Amino acid sequence: MAGKTRIKAKEKDGVVTVMALAKHPMHSSIEAKKLKVKQNFITHLTAQVDGKIVYEISSSQFFSKDPFLKFKYKGKKGDKITIKWVDILGGTNSSDGIAK
Amino acid sequence: MLSKMIKLFMVLTIFAVVSNAGKYDKQAEKDRKALVKYFEAKFEDPEKNRNQFFPYSTDKELKENITKGLKHHDFAIGNYAFSKQGKVQYDEIKEMPPYEEFIEKGEDIYKNSEALKKCFPDTKIGGNYPYFDDKTGKVVTLSVAINDCVVKAGEEKLNLKKGKITHIEAYFADQTKQADKNMDIKINSKKAQQAYERGKKYYYSQRGYLKLSCASCHVQGAGQRVRNESLSQLLGHATHFPVYRLKWGAKSKTSDGLGTLERRMEGCIKDEGQVPPKADSKEMRELLYFMAYMSNGMKIDGPDIRK
Amino acid sequence: MNRRNFIEIGLGVAAATVLPVSLSAVDFRKTKEKAWLEKDVSKAIEGLYGSSSTTQGKVKLKAPDIAENGAIVPITISSDLSATTVSLYQDSNPEAAVAVWTVPAGGVVDYSLRIKMQKTGTVTAVVESDGKLYTDKKLVKVTKGGCGG
């Protein structure tokens, strides 16, 4: 149902910089009213490596459509980064990326 | 003796053909080089040359927000070439631009279409369009070429401004960019030269209730502002299509904020206060032919982000 | 404004707790539901942290002077502080709270995102460190601009 999250991750000097572009309409209430759809937006998103959470955000309707997130964490090349989110209507998505 | 004469004849013929080919784009080359010189002079030192080029700009903005010393290839990125505060946002969004998924979609469409693979065996053709087709006597833009290709194969015709065609163009543009190719428009016949001249005339003609020509804003006005809009320069205008416009992306349901050069020009001409020529009309094609030629020698860098 | 809608949505969220437990470490939308409804920035901060008294400094908020488009405003929050949470607010949209980050132990505070703003407004970033709140803010101008099309 949900599109996958695009993930780009690069390691340098022990710090991995991750850029992610999730696929989601992120309607503001005004937009939802205009489009005549049920308002939907991601409410919570985490990035995990080896079962440990390296990034966590509680979000709102005020993110841009197809939310972009960039963050850093202390890690290494080859790390498998799993980004999971849940939205206000109960939709979910889990996508993976590898730190290069 | 005879073989020597044949060889000499061949050499002379080739020479004649080559030099003939060179003569049809002579004026266009002059125009293009003059344009490059103009913009380089304009942006060399805006603060110093304000009276000549920027009579309405404030001291503050000339000092703080306009980049100086711009050269030919810097102009490919539109008004981000000189507008500092716009460039910061451009760089940030380019870190992970929203159009990447559409390049992949375009690749998918191409690889699954026998017709497209046959019409475009080489995908690195972003810099070769528009071209003048001597057989039909018409300018052919990339949008027209793609649509003609699929229609001939019995598929449904495409909208020349948005949607599926932009995904295909995004793929071609990206392939061309990765191969490091430049805009390389040719004028190889008298008819082609005349088409170029008509496109040029359209560009420089005043129209609409505001009596603006394209050049009013994008040659003379480039670097200045209309309220908050920094006017971009003609040089480099055609290199980055299909373009992802933030304002199209904001209103599109499919997140697909992409548009062809035809789509962009339509909006521009509407702003001049005139009903724009249709996307595959002679006027539109020849206008694009002229515009693309002016960007000859510049790298193809589509798709790209604009406001 | 949309309180009614929001409360309906709130019920939706409660139902969603059936979802994968591994997802939630701290979901502020659930633990601090009221804070997300606040229209006033300082009330939203108070709703989240119990206090709205903040110190300016030690946090850097990067945002454009004039947004190219109000639908995509790039924001970056960075700080060298050892933080527990980071949050972002704005005063141009109906509700003030935009995002709350839970910073993992030893985490780097260098977060970027793209937000939407209806009109010109001030964006405020708060970093919670050692029980204190540090803040930075920036005025972002938003126009209905863009020639053509």
Closest-CA residue of chain B to C76: B92
CATH number for position C99 = 2.60.40.2470
Using CB atoms, list chains with 3+ pairs below 8 Å to chain B: A, C
Q: Which residues of chain C make contact with A84, given a CB cutoff of 8 A? A: 20, 22-23
Say how far apart CA B202 and CA B215 lie, in whole Å.
Answer: 10
Interface contact A34, partner C, CB < 8 A: no
Find the CB nearest A21 among B96, B249, B250: B96
> Average pLDDT for residues B278-285, to the nearest whole number?
96
Question: How near does any CA of chain A get to the CA of C133, in Å?
Answer: 18
Contact C120, B205 (CB under 8 A): no
The reported pLDDT for the residue numbered B209 is 84
Instruction: Kindly indicate the confidence band of residue B210, based on its pLDDT and cuts at 50, 70 and 90.
Output: confident
Q: Are strands C55-56 and C66-67 parallel, antiparallel or unpaired?
A: unpaired
Residue B67 CA: distances (Å) to CA of B40, B59, B81, B210, B250: 12, 14, 7, 30, 28
Residue C149 within a domain: no
Contact B288, B130 (CB under 8 A): yes
- Summarize pLDDT for A47-99 with one digit per residue, the tens: 999 999 999 999 999 999 999 999 999 999 999 999 999 999 999 999 999 99
Which of C34 and B42 is assigned the larger pLDDT? B42
> Average pLDDT for residues B25-32, to the nearest whole number?
96
The reported pLDDT for the residue numbered B3 is 79
Q: Which residues of chain C make contact with B259, given a CB cutoff of 8 A? A: 149
CA angle (B229 as vertex; B227, B231 as ends), nearest 5: 115
The reported pLDDT for the residue numbered B254 is 72
Are residues B229 and C145, on separate chains, in Cβ contact within 8 Å?
yes
Q: What residues of B are labeled active site?
A: 268
- Residue C20's domain comprises 3-142
Q: Which residues of chain B make contact with C145, given a CB cutoff of 8 A? A: 227-229, 247, 307
Give domain A6-98's CATH architecture: Sandwich (2.60)
The reported pLDDT for the residue numbered B18 is 57
Question: How near does any CA of chain A get to the CA of C68, in Å?
Answer: 13
| Site of tokens 């003939």 | B20
Instruction: Kindly indicate the confidence band of residue B8, based on its pLDDT and cuts at 50, 70 and 90.
Output: confident
Interface of B with A in 173-212 (CB under 8 A): none
Inform me whether the pLDDT recorded for C19 exceeds 50. Answer: no
Interface contact B250, partner A, CB < 8 A: yes
Inform me whether the pLDDT recorded for C18 exceeds 60. Answer: no
Q: Where are the domains of chain B?
A: 33-307
Q: Where are the domains of chain A?
A: 6-98
The reported pLDDT for the residue numbered B15 is 66
The reported pLDDT for the residue numbered C106 is 87
Give phi and psi for B274, each to the nearest 5.
-135, 150
The reported pLDDT for the residue numbered C9 is 35
Inform me whether the pLDDT recorded for C15 exceeds 60. Answer: no
Say how far apart CA C128 and CA C50 lie, in whole Å.
Answer: 12
pTM, to two decimals: 0.89
What fold characterizes domain B33-307? Cytochrome Bc1 Complex; Chain D, domain 2 (1.10.760)
- Summarize pLDDT for B191-201 with one digit per residue, the tens: 999 999 999 99
Say how far apart CA C50 and CA C119 lie, in whole Å.
Answer: 28
Q: Which residues of chain B make contact with A66, given a CB cutoff of 8 A? A: 98, 255
Mutate to test the interface with A, among B92, B94, B96 (most CBs of A within 10 A): B96
Say how far apart CA C74 and CA C70 lie, in whole Å.
Answer: 10
Domain count, chain C: 1
- Summarize pLDDT for C112-130 with one digit per residue, the tens: 999 999 999 999 999 999 9
Question: How near does any CA of chain C get to the CA of B231, in Å?
Answer: 9
Inform me whether the pLDDT recorded for B16 exceeds 80. Answer: no
